Amino acid sequence: MDTIMLGFWASLLAGLGTGVGALPVLLPYQPSERTQGILLGLGGGIMLAASSFSLIVPGTEAAIELGASPAGAAGIMLVGVLLGGGFLWLAHNTFPHEHIFKGQEGPVAQNFKRIWLFVIAITLHNFPEGLAVGVGFGGGDQASAIALALGIGLQNMPEGLVVAIALRELKYSARYAFGVATLTGLVEPVGGLVGASIVSVAQPVLPWAMAFAAGAMLFVIVDDIIPDIDQKSFGQRGTLGVMVGFVVMMFLDIALG
C-alpha cells in the first residue's frame, strides 16, 4: 500500500475514535462536567505532545536532511507554525461556529441551527489533525506516523464523548448525538489524504507541512481546549489531564519511533 493510502486509512481510523468515545452517550449514565474537563485536558496534552514530538522535531530533522542549516530549519519551523496557526485563526473568524462551552464565535449566524455551528467547529478542529497524520505517513517515517495516528485517535475519544454530551444537552436523541459525533471525525481522512498527497508528490514540502500542521494543532489547543477547560472551572483536574495526555503521547512517540 502506498503512503497516500496509508495516510488516508490511518487518518480514517483515527477519526473514528470520535465515534468510539461517543459510545457512552448511549448509556443511561453520563460523565460529570468535572470528568469531561479531565478528558478534555487529556486530549489537549496528547495534541500538545504530538505537535512537538511527532511534527516539529521530525520536521526539523527533515529540513536538515534536505540541506537546510540548523538555523534555516528553525526558520522553516517558525514560519510554518505561524502559517498553520494563522490559517486556523482565519478559518475561525470566517466561518460561524460554536464551541462546546465557550459558545458562538465567528460571524453572526442567526440562520444557522446550533447543530451546524457545532459541526463547523469540530470540522475546523479535526481537519488539521487528519492533515498531521497524512503528512506523517507521506514523510515516510511510518513508526513515528503510527504513533501520531494512535495519539490522535486517543485524543478523539474524549472529544467525541464531550461533543455527544453537548448535543444531548441541546435535546437531541442519544442515537442522533452519537451519529453526529461519529460523522465529525470523518473530516480527518480528508485532511489525511490532502497531507499525504502533497508531501508524497513534493518531498521538499515535508518540513513546511509538518510545521503547518503543528501550528494548526497548537491553535486548536490554545483557542479551543484550554478555554473550554477554564470555562467550567475544571481547574487542576484539567491540568492533570493535560500532563497525563502529554506524557502518554511522549511515551508512544519514543517507544514506537
- Tally of structural domains, the chain: 1
Residue 55's domain comprises: 3-256
CA dihedral 82, 118, 12, 247 (to 10 degrees): 60
Q: What is the pTM of this model?
A: 0.77
Of 50-59, 78-87, 120-129, 218-227, the one with minimum mean pLDDT is 120-129
> Where on the phi/psi map is residue 96: left (φ > 0), alpha (ψ -120 to 50), or beta?
beta
**Torsion angle defined by CA atoms of residues 83, 88, 94 and 100, in that order, rounded to the nearest 10 degrees:** -160
What are the pLDDT digits (tens) for 67-119? 999 999 999 999 999 999 998 888 877 765 455 545 555 554 444 455 666 66
Which grid coordinates are listed for 187?
473530516
Could you give the 3-state DSSP secondary structure of residue 96? Answer: coil
Q: Is residue 28 predicted with pLDDT exceeding 50?
A: yes
Q: Is the pLDDT of residue 211 over 70?
A: yes
Report the range of poorest mean pLDDT among 30-39, 51-60, 124-133: 30-39
Which residues lie closer than 8 Å to 136 by C-beta, 6 or more apart? 7, 54, 55, 58, 144, 145, 148, 149, 195, 210
Which three three-digit cell numbers place residue 256? 514506537
* Residue 95, burial from CB neighbour count under 10 angstroms (0-12, 13-18, 19+): middle
